[in-house]
Amino acid sequence: MKMSCALMVAVLCAGAAAAGQTAATGSSANPAGTLPPAPGAAITTLTAQPGFFTEPGVAVNPLDPRQVVVVFQDNAQAAYSDDSGKTWQLAAGVTPREYRVSGDVSTVFDNKGHVFLSCIAFDRLGAFNYWAEGATRNSILVRRSLDGGKTWEPEVRTVIAQPTRPGIPFEDKPYIVADTSKQSPYDGNLYIGWTRWTLTDSQMLFTRSTNDGVTWSAPIEMSSVHGLPRDDNGAVEGFDGAVAPDGTLYGVWALNDHIVMVESHDGGKSFGRARNIVWTAPTMFAIEGMSRANGFPQIAIDPRGGKKGGPIYVTWSDYRNGDVDVFCIVSRDHGRSWSTPVRVNDDPLHDGADHFFQWLAVDPVSGAVNVVFYDQRTDARHRRPTVVLARSEDGARTFKNYAWTRDEFDPSGVFMGDYLGLAAWGNRVYGAWPVRPGPKRATILQVGVADFGAGAAKGGNPPE
């Protein structure tokens, strides 16, 4: 999502049909109200009182999977668990004090077990959705914790900072990624991709750290193709990244009516030519009652399967079927070719229910593909969503849907953000999402745990 938007509160497949692509259903239809509960589901509310809490990120420590961190806004905050999500505590000293506003958070553990929070920070926004117009000082910041998110270092690392002056760009929606593979020559590298808004265009920028997040390289562009200058359709937005066992970095984002992918084979020093991997419908779309909604992509890799790893997965959402559905494509040849899109949500086609704000996580232990999203199927008027977890144990050929929450909520009149959060490890899945708990125009931030147990998606070779 966009902090830019978030703090206004304080393409995708019409073209696919033209391109000759169709979407497989991926599973048999599940009508409203028949979803099984997510196994071992437990929900915890992290915020004691409603506020403007949105845009969460989730990360699991690969060196100690009992440690899980959730970050969220507004302003940038964090919570931690050291018992695999059974209990949670809010961390102190997370919010940067140098600016009035901080958000668009993401989080990751590195190969040392240190956890990082990336965010944007600014004093006020520019014009409506035209963030570079009248922009004031703004920056991308990183904060580090050495103890699993319990305490955070007082020093805030600056990735890039723009002082207040006429014509400055606005740096937006950074997403942080780590290389944690012992096979990789770049093991320990940290990467951040983000959108830069200027008065004339939008650009996809990138930086890396090779010293545990202490310093960051000068930004480079990942693609020479720019987008429109407004936070809307036609802009370059929604960066996400994933690292293969051999250190290959894959990055994706949305532009016009397609998803773009780039690769780096030298630890983020340079990137190959950006290419379109799937045609979509517009990345921003209207959901009744929502202040905004989108289908920005995510990418994840099954790390099992040799030096280059197993399948690569990309998810997004679009309205090729009239209502908004969640889709997944797979590459089984390391990004050279991609499957036909599979529909992740398993309610009947053309039923009028929208599904959006999806997030993707591939379990590095079992290889199971997990997707969380808001889902309107249980509301006869298709206005009030619940949270659904979809899971595939056959390499994203089919998905089974589970009810992670049963209580519908009204998202109208409050900013719900631009994305949810998800992580998985050893058949335990961790999700985070905002809900509006009552009539007050405010949200709470919840974290959910689902446990598919040792019998689900057993390890071994990745799906062919």
What's the pLDDT tens digit per position in 387-428?
Answer: 999 999 999 999 999 999 999 999 998 999 999 999 999 999
**DSSP letters for 250-309:** EEEEEETTEEEEEEESSTTS-----EEEEEBS-SB---TT-S--B---EEEE---SSTT-
pLDDT at 22 over 50: no
CA-wise closest residue to 186 among 241, 127, 231: 241
Mean pLDDT along residues 190-204: 98
Mean pLDDT along residues 313-324: 96
Confidence of residue 25 (pLDDT cuts 50, 70, 90): low
Confidence of residue 456 (pLDDT cuts 50, 70, 90): low
Confidence of residue 351 (pLDDT cuts 50, 70, 90): very high
Cis omega before residue 75 (within 30°)? yes
pLDDT at 15 over 80: no
Confidence of residue 12 (pLDDT cuts 50, 70, 90): very low
- Cα-flanking dihedrals φ and ψ of residue 246, to 5°? -85, 5
Confidence of residue 11 (pLDDT cuts 50, 70, 90): very low
pLDDT at 461 over 80: no
pLDDT at 384 over 80: yes
pLDDT at residue number 33: 66
Share of the chain above pLDDT 70, in %: 91
Confidence of residue 283 (pLDDT cuts 50, 70, 90): confident
266: CB partners within 8 A, 6+ apart: none
pLDDT at residue number 32: 57
Number of Cβ atoms within 10 Å of the Cβ of 206: 24
pLDDT at 2 over 60: no
pLDDT at residue number 23: 58
**DSSP letters for 25-72:** --S----TT-PPBPTT-EEEE--SS-BS-EEEEEEE-TT-TT-EEEEE
58 with 423: CB under 8 angstroms? Answer: yes
pLDDT at residue number 218: 98
pLDDT at 13 over 60: no
Q: What is the DSSP letter of 111?
A: T
Could you tell me the CA-to-CA distances from 192 to 183, 195, 412 in Å, in that order? 21, 10, 32
pLDDT at 1 over 80: no
pLDDT at residue number 396: 98
What distance in Å separates the CA atoms of residue 384 and residue 377, rounded to the nearest whole number?
9
Greater pLDDT, 20 or 62: 62
Domains and CATH numbers, the chain: 11-43+91-410 (2.120.10.10)
pLDDT at residue number 206: 98
pLDDT at residue number 305: 85
pLDDT at 291 over 90: no
What distance in Å separates the CA atoms of residue 103 and residue 72, rounded to the nearest whole number?
7
Mean pLDDT along residues 442-447: 97
Q: What is the DSSP letter of 339?
A: P
pLDDT digits (tens, 9 = 90+) for 218-259: 999 999 999 999 999 999 999 999 999 999 999 999 999 999
- Give the chain's mean pLDDT: 92
Instruction: Give the DSSP H or E segment for 6.
Output: helix 3-6
120 with 19: CB under 8 angstroms? Answer: no
